């Protein structure tokens, strides 16, 4: 039963992160700037794919994306995506009465498992291309 619940939580987490149900909002960089930049999770998903293809971002065992190469706003993209992932992990943990760390670990395992061959994954602190 516990294994089935973990699978359901992982599936739900990944589904929510991919379906575009959550928005990402970045604050303006300069003081006095009036508009905010808003991107949907769907937009972020496209960015993640593009950045992974170019070797800028990779998946970690903690359930979050990490920066492989700090180029072309990779840090900002990772930060925005990880904020949304963290919110979902916290919500799912509360909803299913499990720890956030459990959700993060399950999401990390699933993300690494589902990472395409040739994309980067972080294993024991080292970035490697998935075979």
How far does CA 28 lie from the centroid of its chain?
22
Q: How many domains does the chain divide into?
A: 1
**Residue 61: which domain range?**
6-25+38-129
- H or E segment at 123? strand 120-123
User: What confidence score (pLDDT) does residue 43 get?
Assistant: 66
Q: Is the pLDDT of residue 60 over 80?
A: yes
Average pLDDT over all residues of the chain: 76
Supply the pLDDT for residue 40. 59
Q: Is residue 86 part of a domain?
A: yes
pLDDT value of residue 41: 59
81 located within any domain:
yes
> What is the reported pLDDT for 44?
65
Can you tell me the mean pLDDT for 102-114? 93
The verdict on residue 33 lying in a domain is: no
Residue 66 pLDDT greater than 90, yes or no: yes
């Amino acid at each position: 039963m516990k294994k089935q619940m973990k699978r359901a939580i992982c599936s739900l987490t990944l589904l929510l992160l991919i379906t575009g149900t959550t928005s990402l909002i970045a604050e303006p960089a300069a003081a006095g700037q009036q508009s905010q930049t808003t991107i949907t999770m769907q937009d972020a998903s496209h960015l993640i794919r593009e950045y992974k293809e170019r070797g800028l971002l990779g998946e970690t065992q903690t359930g979050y994306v990490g920066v492989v190469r700090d180029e072309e706003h990779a840090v900002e993209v990772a930060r925005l995506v990880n904020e949304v992932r963290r919110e979902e992990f916290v919500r799912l943990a509360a909803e299913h009465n499990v720890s956030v760390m459990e959700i993060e670990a399950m999401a990390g395992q699933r993300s690494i498992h589902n990472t395409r061959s040739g994309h980067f994954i972080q294993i024991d602190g080292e970035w490697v291309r998935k075979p």
